[in-house]
Structure 1
């Protein structure tokens, strides 16, 4: 199920390889709708790494929730699973074919972390900086001027108010 208030999107799924690609596409589409195209590659890479960790390591099941939220000038991406074991970053050997996911997330994100989720698993999250003029949902163009003449900055919303939004649901599975 996907819920989509104006600056929040949640996807519930089983972290199976076929579903991970679907979630990448959902995250990419949501970021395009928020006019955050510059963040798509980093967000898709990070969510892929987190979902791969759930697929490979989470017990007793692979069900999880991916959440993306636009918070002023930050995009927060988090994955909640039902396994209470916290991940650890360990240096992989040169011949290792896995074990670099969290290090990769640390390299491409502004910040990241993990926290227990009330005895019912954990949440692993990362943030990406969103330029202020991009980090808003559409509501209409704002115009400005340069030395070369007028230009449109694109859609901007007053961040002080939260416009009413609709909720949509899509089954992934």
Structure 2
């Protein structure tokens, strides 16, 4: 699979791993904007089934997010941002309906915003997983870590906002 990467300066080939490519719509001072192809076919089997390729994407996106934060000099936010990226991308890969998952990470004057689109109008629900359940805590973790979170009116985009420490402004 070939992916095209564009930035404000030039168009280049970009790989996030040796086996899969992603279209990097933009990166740099403005932020990170990724378009990830899904290999799982929505609507077949359990909504929780993910292909082996799709299981690799949350880790790749975490690493790319970490690189972006380092570009901005915001290493202090790596752990919370990586966790939010991982949980939101995993949910999008697992429950999304579209052929791609979009991931945006950008900085405003006082915060970082993560947006993940998945093509599904089904709104995610914050649930309380039982002590013996192996999943169901991701969105609760995002809610606990982020300053705020929500879902677009059409249900296709889940977002969260994290404050930038005052000394980093």
TM-score calculated relative to the size of structure 2: 0.72
**2:30 paired with 1:7:** yes
Tell me which residue corresponds to 1:127.
161
Aligned to 2:142: 105
Task: State the Cα distance separating 1:22 from its structure 2 match.
Answer: 1.3
Q: Is the 8 A contact 2:31 2:68 kept in 1?
A: no
**Aligned residue among 14, 17, 22 for 2:60:** 22
Alignment of 1:16-55 (within 5 A): 16-55=54-93
Matches within 5 A, 1:72-91: 72-91=109-128
Deviations 1:105-157 (A, max 9, x none): 0111111111134xxx611011111124424xxxxxxxxxxxxxxxxxxxxxx
Greater mean alpha carbon deviation, residues 66-75 or residues 121-130? 121-130
TM-aligned CA deviation for residue 35 of structure 1: 0.3
Gaps of 5+ in 2: 1-22, 39-53
**Structure 1 gaps, min length 5:** 136-173
Maintained 8 Å contact 2:106/2:113:
yes
The aligned counterpart of 1:139 is none
TM-score by length of 1: 0.70
Residues 1:58 and 2:96 are matched in the alignment: yes
User: In the aligned structure 1, how far is the partner of 2:59 from the partner of 2:37?
Assistant: 12
Query: Greater strand percent: which structure?
Result: 1
Q: Cα deviations across residues 13-72 of structure 1 (Å, max 9, x unaligned)?
A: 1351122211111100000010000111101100100111112211254x1111011000
Across the aligned residues of Structure 1 and Structure 2, the Cα RMSD in angstroms comes to 1.6
Residue correspondences, number: 131
Distance 1:93 1:132 in 2: 37
Greater displacement, 26-35 / 15-24: 15-24
1:72–1:132 CA contact under 8 A, matched in 2: no
- Greater helix share, 1 or 2? 2
Q: State the partner residue of 2:132.
A: 95
Q: Which stretches of structure 1, 4 residues or longer, exceed 6 Å deviation after superposition?
A: none
